[in-house]
Structure 1
Amino acid sequence: MSAQMVEDYDSYRFGIAAGLSGPGWHAIDLEVMWANWASSRAAGLKREDLEAFSVCGARSQLVRKLGPFTYDSRWLEKLRCERCSWVVALNRGTVEQEIELYLADAGGDRRGELLRQIFTAILADAPPGPEATAGHRSELLAHAARHRPVGTVCADCTRQGCADAHGAEVAVCPDAAVVCTECSFTTGSWAGQWQGVTTGECVVGAPCSALLALAEHYGIEAGLR
């Protein structure tokens, strides 16, 4: 990360950080972090003695080489913290881009539109929090985002491809489904590159009870699964 990037808070205010209590990429407010570091130097403390926290409140460590917390970062394609991501979106005015980020996981399924309606209702109803800080609105949006509809295929298709798993004549996985990966059982970091894959023992279809509860609260017709 260049010195110019660090100073340009309007474009690059948030950096990518690694969570210290579990896997995942968080956003750190660089403006706040540099100010804290300056205060620590004045107090005679070393930089490594100062704890850093993401905008969602998780203990984190800035990874400078990963660059800013932006939509075009390849590092944020997986394990992006939804809580941090919504704080950044609300701060930078990229709400529509944030919504589209989660709707894309539904693969065009109409259940993605239910999620859009829920996001829109939350944005109109939940009170905003402090600037660049997690609050009621950002946390409720992140809660809905974690339960978003996600298009999935079977574990064999994920590892081998549809043709190898089911035969050359099969173009679409017969076990393809739109599920809630937050409610379903998915593989952890122990699965290496296959982390986040559903294994079949516990698959919860979308919309899950969390989205249905939000839809009911806001008077949104959920429709059929």
Structure 2
Amino acid sequence: MLPPVQCAPRTRNAAATRDAILASACRHFARESYENVGVRDIARDAGVDPALVSRYFGSKEQLFKEALGCDSDEGGFEGIAREDMPAYLASLMLDEESECGSLETRMDWVLIMLRSASSPATAELVREALQQNLLDPLAEIIAGDGVPDDDAKIRAGTIFAIMMGGDMLSTIYGSGEPKPPEMKQLVRQRLTAVFACAMFGE
């Protein structure tokens, strides 16, 4: 009789485990409100034991904060020159890949905010993430040329509203038929002009 086969345990380093949990959490929070997402669901889709979620993140709330980027020390526009911002913002809306990750990842961030913005448990966290990751850094860049702080904040909010509206249309209508290069370029030019007007226009 042959001895039983000993299956080697599945190995995964700590960083990969943490990344898998966070990626699973982002997918779930983008599709369900905070209250409807369970730690066990996140762990199952990440292929880990639920206890590891607590080990790496402490709580579901802390995991949600990391999914939103609340604990990040990096601003949303590090290294982007002020004059390049309109084109950069257009690229965030149009390009499949950017310095901020894939288009799907960026859309998930928007959807996470929308799903949980009205939740009593997470509304403040959503506002904090929005201010920290987008509105405050953008307003600071806009104010760098002598624009009053209050005006810079209004302009930053306007830009976010434009981006959010574009993302929502993309979600509703999908990518549709592939667009010819000349149309893509025209859309990019128009968006860049809109963002330039919002940032620098009188």
TM normalised by structure 2 equals: 0.29
Bigger relative contact order, structure 1 or 2, given CA contacts below 8 A and separation 6+?
2
Structure with more of its chain in strand, by fraction: 1
TM normalised by structure 1 equals: 0.27
Structure with more of its chain in helix, by fraction: 2
